[in-house]
Amino acid sequence: MKFLKIKMVFFTIFFVACSESNNFKDNGVVVTRHHLASDVGAKILKEGGNAFDSAIAVAFALAVVNPSAGNLGGGGFVIYFKNNKLFTIDYREKAPIRSSRDMFLNPEGDVVKGLSLESYLASGTPGTVAGLIQLHKDEASMPLEKLIAPAVILATEGFKLSEFQAQYLNKYAKKFKKNKEAEKIFVKEGGWRKDDLLIQRDLGKSLSLIAKKGSKAFYDGDITKKILNDFKDNGGIFIKEDFSSYEIRKLEPLCGTYKSYEICSMPPPSSGGVAIIQMLNILENFDVKNFSHSSLEYIFLLKNIMSFAYADRSVFLGDPDYFNVPVDKLISKNYARKIAEKIKNKETTKIQPGMLIKESEETTHFSIIDKWGNAVSNTYTLNGAYGSGIVAKGTGILMNNEMDDFSQKPGYPNLYGLIGSEANKIEPKKSPLSSMSPVIVSKDNMPYLITGSPGGSTIINSVFQEIINILDFEMSLEESSNKNRIHYQWQPDIIFYEDLKPEVLKELEYDFILRKRKLGEIQSILKTSEGYRGYSDLRRPDGKSIEIH
């Protein structure tokens, strides 16, 4: 009888464990900023592919349907979860071998306007293709050609533009007209309209080459030759070795704890992981649940926390292969307690005169989880909208303008108004500092929140506030997305906001700028009592979340 009871207890525990496990492993979710890319990723999951297969297909599809940020000619970061472990791939762009610290300065030592943004000197060596091929090599279950095939079709046969995309292409027509190849593809006489077909045949050919030959096609093949020839003919400094010697980095995920959760993101050269963990460590010294969301006290607290994190970012962060970044100190609980005491004593960081941020919301993020619990959080970019606006002749590939993310001159702000220092100066084969912040929040050794955002310098704060909304205020993804956000980055001394009450604005006594395009654009997946649920931020109209059961 005693044995029977023990046996019954064992089977009860086993049944409950299996039920709970199945509750969270019987569905997949794909969330991206473009509905066609979400459809592609969801189809892969439905056909038995894993989250990594889906991620690869989504990334190549976004290079076609979201050309302002999805890319082959840029770079990014991915953090992923598999078998109770977290992994990363750093496929950030690297400075050309012939680059130099003062390459964007005139003889008088002043920054030459536009040189780091819209010239053939603006691009770093792209890493996206290498990163995606590495992910395929390590984790995929489906052939590469199958995963790239949807992107080839979308590029070759074209896809219908949304109202937003049509307007966005028209907005940047002047930029495209500076480059004949870009003009041929992205400028339409009379302007683009909703439901117009965008066809990118050269890009389709490039994708087909990558599908057949992998990284070799991009880094030591026909695509390489075309990029090198075009840049050589137009004053660029790329050489063959920039491509043949490019290597991704597999870095240890940067993790911290916040209450009962583990927060993991990318280490440098991404600044997102350090800053988000640092800010959450500081916040842990305050009982945030006692604050009313968007109240005067709450906004003031967030502003001060952001100020210290962004000040440290500007001084201490850079490519760890070239600069000794004090990561352990910056994300330590003890350091956070000292900053929290300063905030409580109303001490602030010293502000120097800054410049107004030149806005760009580009970069794109997607989040994916499959029925086995594998999860992917990926952020990649061209930097500014459509990168440099330059399409390498014969490739259909828009090139990045990531060289602007370096410190062109100590104290001089980049596209996003961010100030840099010696840690982020230009050096050959070095990666520029990034704000990209793909995050996986875990609880009980399982993904709980998979999240990330575009938005340049606002990425870090957008993701930070998403985490607070979900973990502290216990909001749903939809509720969190609909809450207003703020952004403060130490310099310039301005609070950017979406929607704050007049009395709050008045009491804060700061310069304010209303963000008409909104702050960030979160693409998140959250573990709920009913399984995993996704939500695509409505700040941009074309996104889509798909759940697969």
Read off the pLDDT of each residue in 435-461 and give the average, rounded to a whole number. 95
Q: What torsion do the CA atoms of 523, 526, 530, 533 make, to the nearest 10 degrees?
A: 10
Mean predicted lDDT score pLDDT of the chain:
90
Q: Which of 74-83, 284-293, 373-382 has the lowest mean pLDDT?
A: 284-293
Same domain, 385 and 471: no
The H or E element that residue 10 is part of is helix 2-25
Structure confidence at residue 421 (pLDDT): 62
Query: Which tens digits make up the pLDDT trace of 316-354?
Result: 989 999 989 999 999 999 999 999 999 999 887 765 544
Rg (CA), the chain: 23
* Co-location of 164 and 63 in the same domain: yes
> What tens digit of pLDDT does each residue of 254-280 get?
999 999 999 999 999 999 999 999 999
Mean pLDDT of 82-90: 97
What contacts 549, CB < 8 A, 6 or more positions away? 26, 27
169 domain residue, yes or no: yes
Structural contact between residues 540 and 33, judged by C-beta atoms closer than 8 angstroms = yes
- Checking if the pLDDT of 69 tops 50, the result is yes
The model's pTM is 0.92
Quote helix, strand, coil % in the chain, to nearest 5: 40, 20, 40
pLDDT score of 304 = 94
How far is residue 93's CA from residue 115's CA, in Å, rounded to a whole number?
A: 18
Residue 412 has pLDDT above 80, yes or no: no
Same domain for 228 and 206: yes
290 and 170 assigned to the same domain: no
| N-terminal to C-terminal alpha carbon distance within the chain | 41
Structure confidence at residue 105 (pLDDT): 92
Looking at residue 20, its pLDDT comes to: 38
What residues have CB less than 8 Å from 522, skipping those under 6 apart?
365, 451, 452, 453, 462, 463, 466, 480, 481, 535, 537
Domain assignment of residue 393, given as a range: 30-249+360-398+409-424
What confidence tens digit (pLDDT) does each residue in 473-527 have? 999 999 999 999 999 988 778 888 888 777 777 777 667 777 766 889 999 999 9
Q: What is the mean pLDDT of residues 363-389?
A: 97
| pLDDT at 415 > cutoff 90 | no
Is residue 363 flagged as an active site residue? yes
At residue 315 the predicted structure's pLDDT band, cuts being 50, 70 and 90, is: confident
Q: What angle do CA 354, 357, 363 make, to 5 degrees?
A: 140
* Confidence label for 422 from pLDDT (cuts 50, 70 and 90): confident
Distance, in Å, from the CA atom of 201 to the CA atom of 191, rounded to the nearest integer, reads 20
Q: What is the pLDDT of residue 517?
A: 60
pLDDT > 70 in the chain, percent: 90
pLDDT value at residue 417: 52
pLDDT of 451 higher than 50? yes
Q: Look at the chain and count its residues.
A: 549
DSSP 475-513: --HHHHHHS--EE--SSS-EEEES---HHHHHHHT-EEE
Same domain, 274 and 238: no
Domain for residue 183, yes or no? yes
Shared-domain flag, residues 297 and 236: no
Active-site pick, 363, 379, 395, 451: 363
Average pLDDT of the segment spanning 160-164: 97
**Residue-wise pLDDT tens digits, 188-228:** 999 999 999 999 999 999 999 999 999 999 999 999 999 99
Residues 213 and 271 grouped into a single domain = no
| Whether the Cβ atoms of residue 492 and residue 357 lie closer than 8 Å to each other | yes
325 and 364 inside one domain: no
Q: Is 261 in the same domain as 137?
A: no
